[in-house]
């Protein structure tokens, strides 16, 4: 899971600019991941991004979580690369790349920001989450219950609202009390612009990437439930346009280099699809 957090100075953006601000946040973070993945891993990732706007105490704290499978797809070479190491992308390099893209976009949108942010250290955290099930459950809970859970709220004797939450720094439960007007003001700032999509998909996890996802499932020999097994994709030769048969075969790097050299010399249509 890759998480991008904005500096506190950028959390005072006007409500009238928030649609463009959130769109820029998504565009720049996703572009930074894709650009760095292609530069370092020579492939395109699939990912799902979820926007959160609140901290646990209902403060305005916009950040985006991306769930990124440890695999990249190179469509040009029709190959995949599985990342088996714990290290995926260098998080500080990723943060610096995002900083440059985002500040440039804010300047283009004429949204003001302090100039010293160019020299400030930004945050991008890359955490290994195993098979990703726990990360998906964590994000889904936030999508269902909204900014605050009803179980965390209670009324005090003077009709104020008490919010109980876990302090991230102290690692223990604490509480904060709002008068009713302040509580509603804190809550309203997390209402997204009408029609805004807070969940976005990219690469082979996007709605338009179903063929790529199916090809990955075939290459990785993913076992799907019987009622979810789709028809195999039709692969045509780029030269003669005749149908091709997908053959899965585990080969070494030397064999791949040999096949590439032979293809360059003969320039003949490929007879085997290697995954």
Answer yes or no: is pLDDT of 269 > 50. no
Cβ–Cβ < 8 Å for 256, 80:
no
Q: In terms of domains, do 12 and 140 share one?
A: yes
Q: In terms of domains, do 102 and 170 share one?
A: no
Task: Please return the burial class of 102, using the count of CB atoms within 10 Å of its CB with bins 0-12, 13-18 and 19+.
Answer: buried
Q: In terms of domains, do 173 and 258 share one?
A: no
pLDDT at 229: 54
Q: In terms of domains, do 113 and 19 share one?
A: yes
Most confident of 138-152, 184-198, 225-239: 184-198
Would you say residue 37 lies in a domain?
A: yes
Q: What is the model's pTM?
A: 0.76
CA 101, 25, 125 angle in degrees (round to 5)?
Answer: 85
Residue that wins the pLDDT comparison between 11 and 232 = 11
Q: In terms of domains, do 185 and 57 share one?
A: no
Q: In terms of domains, do 183 and 94 share one?
A: no
Contacts of range 160-165, beta carbons closer than 8 Å, 24 or more positions apart = 163/57, 163/58, 165/56, 165/57
Q: What total number of domains does the chain contain? A: 3
Would you say residue 116 lies in a domain?
A: yes
Q: CA-to-CA distance for 9 and 19, rounded, in angstroms? A: 18
Name the CA radius of gyration of the chain, rounded: 23
Q: In terms of domains, do 76 and 30 share one?
A: yes
CA-closest candidate to residue 112, choices 17, 210, 200, 5: 17
Q: In terms of domains, do 38 and 131 share one?
A: yes
Q: In terms of domains, do 164 and 243 share one?
A: no
Q: In terms of domains, do 14 and 46 share one?
A: yes
Q: CA-to-CA distance for 80 and 37, rounded, in angstroms? A: 12
Mean per-residue pLDDT of the chain: 83
- Give the other-Cβ count within 10 Å of 79's Cβ: 15
Taking only the tens place, the pLDDT of each residue in 5-26 is: 999 898 887 777 889 999 999 9
Taking only the tens place, the pLDDT of each residue in 164-200 is: 888 877 778 888 899 888 988 888 888 898 899 999 9
Q: In terms of domains, do 169 and 51 share one?
A: no
Q: Domain range spanning residue 244? A: 234-275
pLDDT at 272: 44
Taking only the tens place, the pLDDT of each residue in 58-116 is: 888 899 999 999 888 887 767 788 887 777 888 999 999 999 999 999 999 998 899 99
Residue that wins the pLDDT comparison between 256 and 113 = 113
Would you say residue 217 lies in a domain?
A: no
Q: In terms of domains, do 97 and 159 share one?
A: no
Helical pair 91-109 and 18-41, crossing angle rounded to 10 deg: 140
């Amino acid at each position: 899971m890759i998480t991008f957090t904005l500096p506190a100075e950028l959390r005072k953006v006007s409500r009238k600019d928030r649609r463009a601000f959130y769109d820029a946040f998504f565009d720049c973070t996703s572009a930074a991941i894709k650009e760095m993945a292609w530069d370092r891993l020579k492939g395109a990732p699939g990912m799902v991004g979820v926007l959160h706007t609140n901290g646990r105490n209902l403060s305005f704290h916009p950040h985006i979580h991306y769930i990124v499978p440890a695999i990249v797809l190179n469509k040009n070479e029709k190959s995949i690369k599985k990342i088996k190491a714990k290290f995926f992308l260098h998080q500080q390099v990723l943060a610096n790349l995002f900083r440059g893209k985002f500040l440039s976009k804010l300047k283009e949108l004429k949204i003001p920001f302090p100039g010293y942010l160019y020299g400030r250290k930004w945050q991008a955290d890359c955490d290994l989450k195993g098979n990703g099930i726990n990360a998906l459950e964590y994000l889904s809970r936030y999508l269902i219950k909204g900014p605050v859970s009803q179980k965390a709220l209670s009324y005090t004797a003077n009709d104020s609202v008490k919010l109980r939450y876990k302090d991230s720094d102290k690692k223990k439960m604490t509480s904060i009390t709002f008068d009713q007007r302040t509580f509603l003001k804190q809550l309203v700032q997390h209402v997204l612009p009408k029609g805004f999509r807070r969940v976005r998909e990219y690469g082979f996890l996007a709605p338009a990437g179903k063929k790529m996802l199916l090809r990955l499932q075939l290459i990785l020999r993913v076992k799907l439930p019987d009622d979810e097994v789709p028809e195999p994709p039709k692969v045509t030769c780029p030269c003669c346009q005749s149908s091709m048969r997908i053959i899965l075969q585990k080969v070494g790097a030397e064999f791949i280099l040999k096949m590439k050299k032979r293809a360059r010399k003969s320039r003949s249509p490929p007879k085997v699809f290697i995954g």
